[in-house]
Amino acid sequence: MKVVLVCSDPADCLRSPLAARPASLAGGLLAMLHAAGHQVELLTLPPWGRRGPATVEDDRLMAATADVVHALDVAAAPAALRARRRTGVPTVVQAQVAGSEHIGRQDRAAWVACLRAADSVVVPTTDDARAARRLGLDARRVVTALLAAAGEVTGNLAFSARSPLRLVSVLSGPHAWGGTLDVVAAVSRLPDVELVVAGRSAVPDAERRLTAVAQAYGAADRVEITGWLDEQRAVELVDRSAVVVAPRRGLTSGAATLRAMARARPVVAVDSPIQAEIVVDGETGMLVPAGSRSRLAHALASLLGDPFQAEALGQAGQDRVVARFGPERTLAGLELAYRTAREQRTRVAFIPSARRAGGDDVRPTLPSPR
């Protein structure tokens, strides 16, 4: 099967909740699909500010001879759907639905239009699948698959020995600002514990402001802010950590949690539909309510003070991600979504009233990221 993956520019991912980690996700999906014998092309859209009514990328999509086009985030979906109107190529859109209430009304209307126009929709959790049905999406077109596992979880992982350091790490996504502040506050209550924060933030001057918060809590000498890390350095940080925290509130891909669990590291994650899908609280990690710094500090103190419990959670977490989110299951979900999209296109092509019902005449456009 020939697949064209379409994703937003990384700059848009830092500004819009509709663009959730597509650029980094694409690498894992490319490798997974190539290994399975599929032909894959990746198309990254230009930043929103340089995108006109028609772009070179639109032209490439129009000319693509693909079996399916997969928009890796809803912000990239309009280009894929425009191409479908001209070429008839089935279109898959990837989205999180549960916990998306914070999206503004105008953005949400366009977002829902994209989901309804897609031939199939890939969602990460069962909660997302139920939320999609509440939006009126046909359950037959909704496929549940945690695609963030692609590239984060392999089928044969070596056990990573317990870290001797009292080190807590955060591999922060672009929208994890509030949760990262909570981690700094929690660590400030724990003596002799160091914190490393790695990643990007959508907040202007985030590093300076985070440093100021650490100083206000008297923990500046124990907090290191590294910025974005490449793959090798991120893995090395996880292996050095006694505990990995996934602090992002709201929409999250779960990639940091999957990476840590795949390396047999205990995880403390802010409770959300996708984190609850990955982490079994108290068995493979710990879930804490968003904004509860006391609960976060208690969870960290518990794991740092009991290395045997931490090691048991880490090993159980590794077993879970390999069994539940390993490459075979992830690939099976992805291929099911592609087959579903192709069957939907075939069915629509043979229903003359489909266009009058809104089939190919839906023209969703998303507003500019703010």
Which residue type sits at 34? H
Model confidence at 51, pLDDT cuts 50, 70, 90, reads low
Looking at 2-73, which runs of residues are DSSP E strands? 2-7, 39-44, 68-71
Looking at the predicted structure, is the pLDDT value of residue 295 above 60? yes
Higher pLDDT, 311 or 157: 311
pLDDT in tens, 240-283: 999 999 998 777 778 889 999 999 999 999 998 889 999 999 99
Highest mean pLDDT among 49-58, 97-106, 338-347: 338-347
Residue 356, pLDDT score: 41
Question: How far apart are alpha carbons 214 and 207 in whole angstroms?
Answer: 11
Which residue type sits at 325? F
pLDDT in tens, 102-149: 666 666 788 888 899 999 999 999 999 999 999 899 999 999 999 888
Residue 105, pLDDT score: 66
Looking at the predicted structure, is the pLDDT value of residue 71 above 80? yes
Looking at the chain, which runs of residues are DSSP E strands? 2-7, 39-44, 68-71, 91-94, 120-123, 142-144, 167-172, 194-199, 223-227, 243-246, 267-270, 286-288
pLDDT in tens, 182-198: 999 999 999 899 999 98
Cβ pair 208, 131 in contact under 8 A: no
Question: How far apart are alpha carbons 341 and 347 in whole angstroms?
Answer: 10
**CATH numbers and ranges of domains, the chain:** 2-152+327-354 (3.40.50.2000), 167-324 (3.40.50.2000)
